[in-house]
Amino acid sequence: MILPDETPAPSVLVPLLWKEGRLLILDQRLLPGTEQHGEARDAEAVVRAIVQMQLRGAPLIGVAAAYGVALEARRLLDGLPLADFHDRMRQALTRLLSCRPTAINLMRALAPAGQWLEQKMDPRDFALRSEAWAHGLAQREAQACDVMGRLGADRLASGSRILTHCNTGRLATVGAGTALAVVREAVRRDPACQVTCTETRPWLQGARLTAYELSREGIPVDLVTESVAGNRLLDQAIDFFIVGADRISPDGRVANKVGTRMLAQLARTGGARTLVVAPTTTIDWEWKPGQSIPIERRGGEELWHATGMAEIPPGIHIDNPVFDLTPPALIDWIVTEKGVIEPARGECFDPGRFSSPEPDC
């Protein structure tokens, strides 16, 4: 996230830009061919951007949703009675919360606004508070990325051969990334590290986003299909499998981009270690053992478009889950900005260490 008084380096992709009460959103569907920012002036525009995959990545979605609240509050300030303002804001919150049901960051980013509505906060105070909250959240998430990059790289060996899945970099966060921040730091420390990324179907986040991010920064990367990645793991050609997360349970279960569980299992079989890298805002403290969580499923046309045909023929059913669940036994480390745990050894998140009251909002 680049705030108004900051200027990004030429090689840095900026997924969100707050400018004079508007939110500029980099349309990731057009990458790598075109870098184009669209403009959002209200919550519904942010909803569309999230649902249509103009922006994605759990930390980035959370920050964008927080700015969506600020935009809507600004828009509704003039000419509405107090009760109407609160009703319209509740409607906006409901729409934002429905965007991506698996990513817990979204819900946590919107929680303060729900509290302010319960308190019947004055609209002008609400607008000021929501904008300050969004800016603060963006700054904290960016700082978390830097810390996670260092902590994760500490776990890697010299000359490590790294595999990553989906996109977990600047285009999924408001900083250097989660898993990709670790990759960047590892290569900075030791240029002999080798990086492989999956193309990640059906949206090709690995091909269009991860490979593009790394190439812009001069980091060599092998781009492979998930099938080839599996072969590399089984052939013991990978040392570390490093991914992000959309939701993490206190005992170390991880919801992440579909394919993560398969690759983590193959990593275990081939002797590679698995790191999950995510901020503590991704921990769902209410996710109990044995409890299910909503797994988002998207339309089959997202898969079918690769055939070049517009319509799915009758009789073909396409299952398109976006996430899967990886058990703790397959995860060697979970890296957060507040420290690291080892789920495969039975270590869980301690609330006293890994959670704290939210900053004053």
Question: What is the per-residue pLDDT for 7?
Answer: 52
pLDDT per residue as tens digits for the range 195-225:
999 999 999 999 999 999 999 999 999 999 9
Mean pLDDT across 117-124: 94
Mean pLDDT across 68-87: 91
Question: What is the per-residue pLDDT for 355?
Answer: 83
Q: How many CB atoms lie within 10 A of CB 334?
A: 27
CA 177 centroid distance within chain: 9
139 exposure class (CB count in 10 Å sphere: 0-12, 13-18, 19+): middle
Query: In what order do the strands lie in the sheet containing 194-198?
Result: 222-224, 194-198, 161-164, 240-243, 273-277, 333-336, 339-341
pLDDT per residue as tens digits for the range 300-328:
998 898 888 889 999 999 999 999 999 99
What are the structure tokens assigned to 245, written together? 């997360």
Q: Is the pLDDT of residue 12 over 90?
A: no
Q: What is the pTM of this model?
A: 0.92
Tell me what percent of the residues of the chain surpass a pLDDT of 70. Answer: 95
Domains of the chain: 16-145 (1.20.120.420), 147-354 (3.40.50.10470)
Question: What is the per-residue pLDDT for 3?
Answer: 47
Q: What are the φ and ψ backbone dihedral angles of 108, each rounded to 5 degrees?
A: -70, -35
Question: What is the per-residue pLDDT for 8?
Answer: 55
Residues 6 or more apart whose CB falls under 8 angstroms from that of 286 comprise none
Q: How many CB atoms lie within 10 A of CB 218?
A: 9
Instruction: Compute the mean pLDDT over every residue in the chain, rounded to the nearest whole number.
Output: 93
Say if residue 294 is preceded by a cis peptide, omega within 30 of 0: no
What are the structure tokens assigned to 319, written together? 């299952």
| Residue 66 to residue 52: CA distance in whole angstroms | 18
SS3 state of residue 348? coil
Q: Is the pLDDT of residue 11 over 90?
A: no
pLDDT per residue as tens digits for the range 217-267:
999 999 999 999 999 999 999 999 999 999 999 999 999 999 999 999 999
Of 184, 171, 179, the C-alpha closest to 242 is 179
What are the structure tokens assigned to 60, written together? 């980035």
- Clarify whether 246 is annotated catalytic: yes
Active-site residue (options: 5, 87, 246, 350)? 246
